[in-house]
Amino acid sequence: MGAIIRPMDSSSIKALTFDVFGTVVDWRSSIIREGEALGRRNSLTVDWARFADAWRGQYQPNLEKVRSGELPWTKLDNLHRMALDQLLVDFNIKGLTEAEIDDFNRAWHRLYPWPDTVPGLTRLKAKFVLATLSNGNVALIVNMAKRTGLPWDAVLGAEVSRHYKPQPEVYLGAADMLGLAPSECMMVAAHNSDLAAASRLGFHTGFVSRPGEHGPSQSSNVSAEGAWDIVADSFIDLADQLGC
């Protein structure tokens, strides 16, 4: 006998707001693939999985420099570039032109969605406003969406609020711009901490597990760690549970 499932009453929810890196797109495989292509073009021998992890490893420390005020407002493209410049030294990668480095930095604009992302979002879009609520800057999110067909209704998040998650201004600013109360929004993320921050502000919460986000040795965010309104294993499952 299966467990008793209490379907969620989603009638009060008008908008779904999405974390992007890891939740919507598979940043790790995409960066590895871009690195491998760069390596082939330039005869570089690099462990690109380790490089991708190191690049993403600079993400929270650099966001924290902005959150703490150590750096003034800086968009994510520029934080990615600061980290990349250091990693080129750390990994002893030499001989790239400025155009090649800039293009590699824009690999973050070319991340691929998980296989269930576009079909799931397409179903969800018929019932809800779909907005990004990401730390990615607007151009990054727009270029990514345009390339792979992510059907956002609005690109909100860090840059339009000039704060980085999990600062409350990002979540509250997105709800306000959508003309909605937080309780009319559901934050969708593969990260428990993101949902915890949104939940404290009154958002509904949807956890979508992405156990492969960090590769085979992932140890965090493997499963839901809070009493989230929905726990799903894909955007298709999320659409099912939201009655789309």
Which residues of this protein are in contact with its own copies, per CB under 8 A?
A: 77, 129, 131, 137-140, 142-143, 145-146, 153-156, 159-160, 177-180
Structure tokens at 219: 């140890």
Phi, psi of 110 (to 5 degrees): -120, 25
> With respect to its own copies, which residue has the nearer C-beta, 96 or 139?
139
Contacts of 150 (CB under 8 A, 6+ apart): 24, 113, 117, 118, 121, 144
Least distance (Å) between residue 191 CB and its own copies = 24
Least distance (Å) between residue 178 CB and its own copies = 5
> With respect to its own copies, which residue has the nearer C-beta, 111 or 138?
138
CB-CB neighbours of 194 under 10 Å: 24
> With respect to its own copies, which residue has the nearer C-beta, 153 or 233?
153
Least distance (Å) between residue 159 CB and its own copies = 6
> With respect to its own copies, which residue has the nearer C-beta, 34 or 213?
34
Least distance (Å) between residue 22 CB and its own copies = 22
- Asked whether the beta carbons of 193 and 167 are under 8 A apart, the reply is no
- Nearest C-alpha neighbor of 151 from the set 114, 112, 121, 116: 121
Least distance (Å) between residue 44 CB and its own copies = 27
What CA–CA distance (Å, rounded) separates 174 from 95?
A: 42
Least distance (Å) between residue 218 CB and its own copies = 31
Residue 216: asked if its preceding bond is cis (omega within 30°), the reply is no
> With respect to its own copies, which residue has the nearer C-beta, 50 or 73?
73
CB-CB neighbours of 101 under 10 Å: 16
Least distance (Å) between residue 121 CB and its own copies = 14
> With respect to its own copies, which residue has the nearer C-beta, 140 or 190?
140
Backbone CA torsion sign across 43, 99, 80, 119:
negative
> With respect to its own copies, which residue has the nearer C-beta, 115 or 151?
151
Report the side by side order of strands in the sheet with 129-134: 154-157, 129-134, 15-18, 185-189, 204-208, 230-232
